[in-house]
Structure 1
Amino acid sequence: MQWLELSFQDRSPAWIARLEALWTATVQADHSALPRHTVQDLAAGVVQVLRTVAHLTVALDDTGAPVGVLGVSGHSLELFFLPPDQQGTGLGSRLFQHAMAKHYLAQITVWEANTRALGFFLRRSYRIHHRTPADPQGYPFPTLYLTLSCY
């Protein structure tokens, strides 16, 4: 496994398309109840974040295929996704530790229904700061805002 830090100039349309496909596969597996049109709407926002997030790290397998993505702006985790076949393998922990070594990730936003992701962050000393009935884009998905607890 290796990490690829994609600079803005390296984020070609081909790379963005590969990462969008990885995100789509992940969402379809993790959030199967989402209507297709909602996934398509969300994908447009994800593509925008992939293009503009300050720091974009891609986990590559031994063949060079992307198997995980993490994006950071400031001290906020903006993107973090792994396809279902990589979840529970330790890759997410390694990718997250890699990001924490470079960036102090003080703030994380997660959909309340994404209990697997919520558990991942709670086990890493994050605590729920507040909850909103909609996500930052206005979709009616209850959202939890997490902050890193120092103690």
Structure 2
Amino acid sequence: MIQIRNEIRPIRNEDTETLVAIWLEASQFAHSFLGQERLQLQSEQVRDIYLKQAENWVILENGQPAGFIGLMDQFIGGLFIDTKIHGKGLGRQLLDHALELKKTLSLEVYALNTQAHSFYLRNGFTETARDPQDGEGLPFEVIHMSRDL
């Protein structure tokens, strides 16, 4: 079976609102344990800070932004795909693209986000460490992972 690759391109200003909406919906699904108020605040930070600071790559589905990966050097700050089209290989394509660019990648994932943890394991990442709380000091275990090309 031939895998059709979706177009991946750098973020554009006009992508911002769509990507923030994708981030928020995916986070409500995967990080519901953080609570709606915190996720809403974080979505503003994604819009106003993180999308501007990271090296962001957008994947298109039918010509429209369907997800993105945010890189800070070799660290994946986030990988989010429109929840309506999970399972179509878009996340894997973004990971492959980032690996081609960086050769080595690392990330942190919440232990409670078992789907993401499993996704990274299936895609060749290995656990390197665990922290009992996240970067904001909240009591949510974080798993550190990495992968080389």
Q: Give the distance between the partners of 2:22 and 2:52, measured in 1 at CA.
A: 15
Contact 1:67–1:82 (CA<8 Å) still a contact in 2?
Answer: yes
Contact 2:99–2:148 (CA<8 Å) still a contact in 1?
Answer: no
Q: Give the distance between the partners of 2:38 and 2:118, measured in 1 at CA.
A: 25
Task: Give 1:16 deviation, angstroms.
Answer: 2.0
Q: Give the distance between the partners of 1:102 and 1:41, measured in 2 at CA.
A: 31
Superposition TM-score, scaled by structure 1 size: 0.83
Contact 1:109–1:146 (CA<8 Å) still a contact in 2?
Answer: yes
1:72 is matched by which residue type in structure 2? L
Q: Give the distance between the partners of 1:89 and 1:42, measured in 2 at CA.
A: 27
Alignment of 1:66-145 (within 5 A): 66-145=65-144
Contact 1:77–1:105 (CA<8 Å) still a contact in 2?
Answer: no
Question: Would you identify which runs of 4 or more consecutive aligned residues in structure 1 move more than 4 Å?
Answer: none
In the other structure, the counterpart of 2:3 is none
- Local SS of the residue matching 2:104: coil
Contact 2:104–2:148 (CA<8 Å) still a contact in 1?
Answer: no
1:50 is matched by which residue type in structure 2? L
The alignment-based identity, stated in percent, is 26
Q: Number of aligned pairs? A: 143
- Local SS of the residue matching 2:37: helix
Any stretches of 5+ residues in structure 1 without a counterpart?
none
Q: Give the distance between the partners of 2:92 and 2:22, measured in 1 at CA.
A: 18
2:60 is matched by which residue type in structure 1? L
- Local SS of the residue matching 1:106: strand
Q: Give the distance between the partners of 1:18 and 1:84, measured in 2 at CA.
A: 13
Contact 2:22–2:83 (CA<8 Å) still a contact in 1?
Answer: no
Task: Give 1:44 deviation, angstroms.
Answer: 3.1
In the other structure, the counterpart of 1:17 is 17
- Local SS of the residue matching 2:134: coil
In the other structure, the counterpart of 2:36 is 36
Contact 1:129–1:146 (CA<8 Å) still a contact in 2?
Answer: yes
Q: Give the alignment's Cα RMSD to 1 decimal.
A: 1.9
